[in-house]
Structure 1
Amino acid sequence: MTNTMTDVATALNQVLADSFALYIKTKNFHWHVSGPHFRDYHLLLDEQATQILASTDLIAERVRKIGGNTIRSIGHIARLTEIRDNDADHVPAKDMLGELRQDNLVLVDSLKRAKAIADAAGDNASSGLIDAWTDEAEQRAWFLLESARD
């Protein structure tokens, strides 16, 4: 694997780690959300978690297709991710939505860095996939923003 493709694989593994961390956090909040908008938030977070999880296999397979190795453990994810855990016993629903919005924007930043690296490497396939994942993360952030408005 060339150095440029190694850089793409490294960037995609960062995206993968952030995606897994965001998936777990979204499911955590999905399981623990409460309050007057419980049903709406519960369903929204489940839909978002499902979308995030679906992207993880595609990201990992892209890394393998270009000759790289991908994440192998929870510890590996923890070392790479920029998404911060929230282990609080209770988080108000609006705070959950705001935190997940910010986390999706962290993922967008990770995706944009990966896209720049893929573009520099001439890896059109990774670049195109990253565009779709970026759009999904931006849409999730938008839905979370709008859902949290009073």
Structure 2
Amino acid sequence: MDRTAVESRRKASLNTPSDLPSNATADIAGALAALLADTFALYLKTKNFHWHMSGPHFRDYHVMLDEQGEQIFAMTDAIAERARKIGGTTIRSIGHIGRLQRLLDNDADFVTPRDMLAELKDDNQQLVSFLRQAHEVCAEHNDVATTSLLEVWIDETERRAWFLFETTRSAE
């Protein structure tokens, strides 16, 4: 294959057909890309805390965070594919995630189990807010398929935040 043909393939358009107007596709794909970046950030933080958990409740917390991590990771492909289905694009690299993510990383050498769970609770609550914002964008453009997915993810994320909250409550 000659160089011109290779360059032509690299520049090939990803024009996926959609009945949504181009401004709707851009708005929704943009909201989904930021959401995907946050979801990857939350996934990695959840796994980080899962891997570095310690203390008397190690097994319970370790298992809970593993389950939550699996649920968070399951969202990633659906978010990215939804953006592509409507004719948009999505994140392409770790660097792209870093530029878009709104949830903060935690690179501390040691975090107490209680602080880990509290931070994840806060992050899940913040993710709920981002999911609701994305829902508003999708509803504005009458993208009912994406709003439907977001509603499920809002419920799942609220459940994770609830479990994390209850786990950090002091015995009364």
TM-score range, shorter chain: over 0.9
Q: Higher helix proportion, which one?
A: 1
Number of equivalent positions = 150
Identity of matched residues, %: 59
Q: Which residue of 1 aligns with 2:45?
A: 25
Q: Secondary structure at the match of 2:80?
A: helix
Residues 14-72 of structure 1 deviation map (CA, whole Å, 9 limit, x = unaligned):
11000000000000000001001000000000000000000100000000000011000
Q: Which residue of 2 aligns with 1:74?
A: 94
Within the alignment, does 1:14 sit opposite 2:67 as a pair? no
User: 5+ residue gaps in structure 1?
Assistant: none
Distance 2:34 2:130 in 1: 7
User: 5+ residue gaps in structure 2?
Assistant: 1-20
Q: Secondary structure at the match of 2:104?
A: coil
Q: Secondary structure at the match of 2:36?
A: helix
Q: Which residue of 1 aligns with 2:7?
A: none
Within the alignment, does 1:124 sit opposite 2:144 as a pair? yes
Within the alignment, does 1:52 sit opposite 2:91 as a pair? no
Aligned-residue Cα RMSD (Å) equals 0.7
Residues 88-136 of structure 1 deviation map (CA, whole Å, 9 limit, x = unaligned):
1110000000000111111111101100000000000000000001111
TM-score of the two chains, using structure 1 as the length reference: 0.98
TM-score of the two chains, using structure 2 as the length reference: 0.86
Higher RCO by CA contacts (8 Å cutoff, separation 6 or greater): 1
**4+ residue segments displaced more than 3 Å:** none
Matches within 5 A, 1:94-113: 94-113=114-133
Distance 1:126 1:5 in 2: 11
